[in-house]
Chain A
């Protein structure tokens, strides 16, 4: 915050007082805090404090990165974690800096608002005694009478605030410069409040939907949800979204661009409330679906092979489309299937290759992200799936510590391989597995932040205020009649690139008015 009273502090008028007392110290502290130098140092400190958050993974932006870092560097990780370096932007030290900065800002802006309010109603200050002391000044010849009135008229036309006293004119313009400055700083307070309140009331949840599946907006409908501090489940509007179709197109035409995604398109049917009319819409990466108090975003996609597993008697023990997580740009995908209802519990770790091809090493790979030559492989593990323990389990991973591989590289039976429509026999008496078909899934993010509109409003008003405060010149101009002509002087408050020119032009106008 630009403080016009900076000289007050450098002279140290408070320092010489021998008995400051608690109150005196408080006042001293407040003045230090709200001084321009402090604001400047806090800004630079804030910039420096933000750096570590770009070096170390952050829990909010990259939770997996943090877990990985802690795995790889347990000792160092513990130390960094104690310093809150994985949560920089919510850490005590980062918060302390910006809270101090905002106190400094408030302590400077509010008094200045009052000063400015008074200045807006005050008359421009009287002409200085010696014009040549002003940063820009000039003397012009003229014999005409009524010069001062003419100067006042010209200045009024140029939207100066004008006061005539005796043989001189005082004029001032550009009050909007300070108005803009105050709007800018007050808007920043607005942004901070809107960010805080909006963040508290917001929520963001994730859900993976396979084609044909429906998401219902209640807490159990989400795979994961991160609510703000004041979030209440009753905020969720009862709506449902069905993924009708997911289409992905990849470039096959341009040689340098083969396999690059061109478009992801989720066609959904949504219905608000029990009696709402179902509506069909399309969600793309940059085109979320807006529902009351929720936006539905497309954040990821992949394949969901449809698999049926039957036991030796032919009873179905597993059936459905399972989302496989893509591992590379060509959608080599990894999925896990757990079969708890069979006589012997077993699970599969399975890879899906949309366009399967063999590497020279013999390993399989996918060459293209679209399903040109789809192939499914699976290793089979027998043993306790851990599903009876009651502890929630990750559906995308299989804990094989207590399980035994019965089909795969380390067992006598090789891993399974299936093309679409094929059925293979599972090891021992586990039964059979059929690769029925292929669906796609979409990862949706459903989130809402009621503060967003306000944040945007304050951000734009800050921008407007900033433009005003930096580009509107604020200046005082004085004109005085002297023997055989008149004198003009100008003083800029803040940077003003055209001060000299202003004087020239003003003198010309006064003289032109003379000739009329």
Chain B
């Protein structure tokens, strides 16, 4: 690679598409919350009409994701390479994959549509942080990143993150649903929350769905770890060196391995497993934000100063 043409103008257009996606996502988020509130209504007619709202919200989520996808592709064209070489790009691409995996999953497991509001909120948060704090102008790849492993390793890491994310959203729903605190609490708000929780699938179902997304995530994460080691051997002359990013990849792997064991251990399945799923996803987020920005290491690709 000796000469590359970067197109910052096109990157600005890409950014505009990301902003449009954020606006649409915001509307669909509001509609999803409205939908839940109406579904929880004691008035049967109101509750029934709520399905129309959900349909509109879901359509908007899909429209938003198209604009989001265009933003990601344009960023890649602007940089003449894959659009995930720094934190901003990883955020927009990663959150797009989360939405895409979520929408695709709806074809296979329809009842996860109820957590659309959580996935939607998470993606909005990621895009908000990306556009306000992480944005950098298009840059070429530093020599250490010039490898086809950038495509393989990072793509699989993004996919794993998406599956962990959906599983974590389900775990949140499960924890609310099984919480004794809401079940025993008196008052209007607790009543409303109880009725909202009734809209969600049964506890067992949520738990199983969460488990299934997590096992796919875990397989993909294991692959990410191995692919990372193979790449590290090429680029950094050792397959494993306890670089901070490697440490956190290992920590995340170990937490989810613990999660899988917890699911088969009496007294640990159910709420404790759900908590572990959340701790695991928190570690994924920590790895992406705090470790990227504040920890010293070889994976210094945020592009931020």
Q: How far is the CB of B85 from chain A (nearest CB, A)?
A: 12
Interface stretch, picked from B25-33, B97-105, B127-135, B214-222, is: B214-222
Interface stretch, picked from A123-131, A280-288, A338-346, A378-386, is: A280-288
Indicate if the CB atoms of B255 and A62 lie closer than 8 Å: no
A42 to B218, alpha carbons, bound, how many Å?
18
A261 to B221, alpha carbons, bound, how many Å?
31
Q: How far is the CB of B168 from chain A (nearest CB, A)?
A: 17
1/0 contact string of A46-79 vs chain B (CB within 8 Å): 1100110111011011100100000000000000
Indicate if the CB atoms of B254 and A37 lie closer than 8 Å: no
Indicate if the CB atoms of B218 and A286 lie closer than 8 Å: no
Interface residues of B in 206-257 (CB under 8 A from A): 208, 211-212, 215, 218-219, 222-223, 226, 229-231, 233-244, 247-248, 250-251, 254-255, 257
One of A1, A40, A51, A463 near B219 (C-beta < 8 A): A463
Indicate if the CB atoms of A40 and B258 lie closer than 8 Å: yes
A284 to B147, alpha carbons, bound, how many Å?
11
Indicate if the CB atoms of B219 and A470 lie closer than 8 Å: yes
Closest residue of B by beta carbon distance from A284: B143
Across-interface contacts of B248 in A (CB, < 8 A): 54
Indicate if the CB atoms of B222 and A463 lie closer than 8 Å: yes
A40 to B268, alpha carbons, bound, how many Å?
9
**B52 at interface (Cβ–Cβ under 8 A)?**
no
**B5 at interface (Cβ–Cβ under 8 A)?**
yes
Q: How far is the CB of A81 from chain B (nearest CB, A)?
A: 17
Indicate if the CB atoms of A257 and B208 lie closer than 8 Å: no
One of B139, B147, B241 near A260 (C-beta < 8 A): B139
Count contacts on A: residues with CB < 8 A to the other chain. Answer: 66
Closest residue of B by beta carbon distance from A297: B237
**A255 at interface (Cβ–Cβ under 8 A)?**
yes
Indicate if the CB atoms of A285 and B146 lie closer than 8 Å: yes
**B111 at interface (Cβ–Cβ under 8 A)?**
no
Q: How far is the CB of B193 from chain A (nearest CB, A)?
A: 29
Across-interface contacts of B261 in A (CB, < 8 A): 1-2, 36, 39-40, 43
Indicate if the CB atoms of B254 and A286 lie closer than 8 Å: no
Closest residue of B by beta carbon distance from A65: B296
**B110 at interface (Cβ–Cβ under 8 A)?**
no
Interface stretch, picked from A232-240, A397-405, A451-459, A481-489, is: A451-459
Closest residue of A by beta carbon distance from B136: A256
Indicate if the CB atoms of A51 and B239 lie closer than 8 Å: no
Across-interface contacts of A459 in B (CB, < 8 A): 226, 229
Count contacts on B: residues with CB < 8 A to the other chain. Answer: 63
Closest residue of B by beta carbon distance from A2: B264
Indicate if the CB atoms of A286 and B238 lie closer than 8 Å: no
Most chain A CB inside 10 Å of its own CB: which residue of B138, B146, B267:
B146
Known: A6-B266, A254-B6, A263-B2. A50 touches B251 (CB 8 A): yes
Across-interface contacts of A40 in B (CB, < 8 A): 258, 261-262, 265, 268
Known: A7-B266, A53-B247, A257-B139. A60 touches B242 (CB 8 A): yes
**B142 at interface (Cβ–Cβ under 8 A)?**
yes
A229 to B122, alpha carbons, bound, how many Å?
48
**A262 at interface (Cβ–Cβ under 8 A)?**
yes
Q: How far is the CB of A396 from chain B (nearest CB, A)?
A: 21
A186 to B66, alpha carbons, bound, how many Å?
45
**B295 at interface (Cβ–Cβ under 8 A)?**
yes
Across-interface contacts of A46 in B (CB, < 8 A): 254
**B140 at interface (Cβ–Cβ under 8 A)?**
yes
Q: How far is the CB of B233 from chain A (nearest CB, A)?
A: 7
Indicate if the CB atoms of A455 and B239 lie closer than 8 Å: yes
B residues with a Cβ closer than 8 A to A are 1-6, 8, 137-140, 142-144, 146-147, 149, 208, 211-212, 215, 218-219, 222-223, 226, 229-231, 233-244, 247-248, 250-251, 254-255, 257-258, 260-262, 264-268, 276, 283, 291, 295-297
Instruction: Name 25 interchain pairs, CB-CB below 8 A, sorted by A.
Output: A3-B264, A36-B261, A37-B265, A40-B258, A40-B261, A40-B265, A43-B257, A44-B276, A47-B283, A50-B254, A58-B242, A60-B241, A61-B242, A61-B297, A257-B137, A261-B142, A262-B140, A285-B143, A452-B233, A452-B239, A455-B239, A459-B226, A463-B223, A495-B208, A497-B212
Apart from the given pairs A50-B251, A61-B297, A297-B236, 16 other A-B contacts in the complex at a CB distance below 8 Å: A1-B261, A2-B264, A7-B266, A37-B267, A54-B297, A61-B242, A65-B296, A254-B138, A262-B3, A286-B149, A288-B237, A299-B237, A449-B238, A459-B229, A462-B222, A471-B215
A residues with a Cβ closer than 8 A to B are 1-3, 6-7, 10, 36-37, 39-40, 43-44, 46-47, 50-51, 53-55, 57-58, 60-62, 65, 88-89, 195, 204, 249, 251, 253-257, 260-264, 284-288, 295, 297, 299, 445, 447, 449, 452, 455-456, 459-460, 462-463, 466-467, 470-471, 494-495, 497
